[in-house]
Amino acid sequence: MAFSRVSPFRYGSLSSLIPYVSSPSSLSPPVRTFSLFASISTPQPSPPSLLTASPKASDRWRPMCLYYTQGKCTKMDDPTHLETFNHNCSRELQVNAANFQHLQSQHLDFFLVLDLEGKIEILEFPVLMINAKTMDVVDLFHRFVRPSEMSEQRINEYIEGKYGKLGVDRVWHDTAIPFKEVIQQFEAWLTQHHLWTKEMGGRLDQAAFVTCGNWDLKTKVPQQCKVSKMKLPSYFMEWINLKDVYLNFYKRRATGMMTMMKELQIPLLGSHHLGIDDTKNIARVLQRMLADGALLQITARRNADSPENVEFLFKNRIR
């Protein structure tokens, strides 16, 4: 099947409508209980067997406000802005109750779908919180991340090459904050959702990260922590590699998100390699697997005494 192409819609053409806020970046927005999505997504419905009824024709697709996903939208009272940009796309990840007939009882209450962006340093940190019982999106944490060991010229070149072609380079420059601040805000978000507390430390409470591969948490987060001169947080000690669960559940190999979506006949939404869009698409694969009856279990765990050593818990896994 053919995947949808990236929309030619660019933020640069609507510069007068884009909100900008210069408030202190350390302030974390309040907990929200709706699902959020990325900016220049091409509207493509998922298979009717998984999603609820199609939205009304009047609810036309609009690009997501990426200031809003980071709690920095200042134009929520501007009718033109609200008409141009979407601020609530929960319907795109709603599931049909009929699919619950195969839903297994999970050992966890929540799945935290994570897909980082950035090869040199982390540039984007998006997490979607999925209810394991209902498959609904509970909340989103999304931050753009400013590199700490790159010159401004190198950062500008890096961001232009990464996000300029997607039309979101301006919002990145307006909102990106250092990784340490991102982690501080993320920990506040985890605490607000009662998934982890700084006082107790340790692993997540009845929740686990879900990634498409081991790179995000096995390799990239520890690398970034070293660059940012910080200790690896305790909640990054274990995770679920969706590719390994996919292999053992469907008995077929999928090397990445695009392969899983193609085999499950799930159309691509948004821009591949825009972290928030990839996280959303991985969440859609997760929802489909849950609806099909998959049981998600931890696939990788760090050694508590030697965190650099990772044990892979599935005999059959993607290497």
Lowest mean pLDDT segment, chosen from 35-49, 91-105, 252-266, 298-312: 35-49
User: What is the 8-class DSSP label of residue 213?
Assistant: S
**Identity (one letter) of the amino acid at 242?**
L
* Per annotation, catalytic residue among 81, 87, 117, 181: 117
Give the C-alpha separation, 314 to 48, whole Å: 32
Classified as helix, coil or strand, 211 is: strand
Clarify whether 157 is annotated catalytic.
Answer: no
More confident residue, 85 or 117: 117
pLDDT score of 6:
36
pLDDT over 80 (residue 16):
no
In terms of Cβ atoms closer than 10 Å to its own Cβ (0-12, 13-18, 19+), residue 269 is buried
Q: Is 199 a catalytic residue?
A: no
Percentage of the chain lying above the pLDDT 90 cut: 66
Of 173, 187, 272, 273, the active-site residue reads 273
Q: How far apart are CA 37 and CA 48, in angstroms?
A: 20
Which residue has better confidence, 111 or 13? 111
d(CA 207, CA 149): 32
Inter-residue contact 298 to 246 (CB < 8 Å): no
The structure tokens listed for 56 are 């009304």
Residue 81 vs residue 93, higher pLDDT: 81
Q: What angle do CA 63, 185, 201 make, to 5 degrees?
A: 135
pLDDT higher than threshold 50 for residue 222: yes
Round the average pLDDT of the chain to a whole number and report it.
Answer: 83
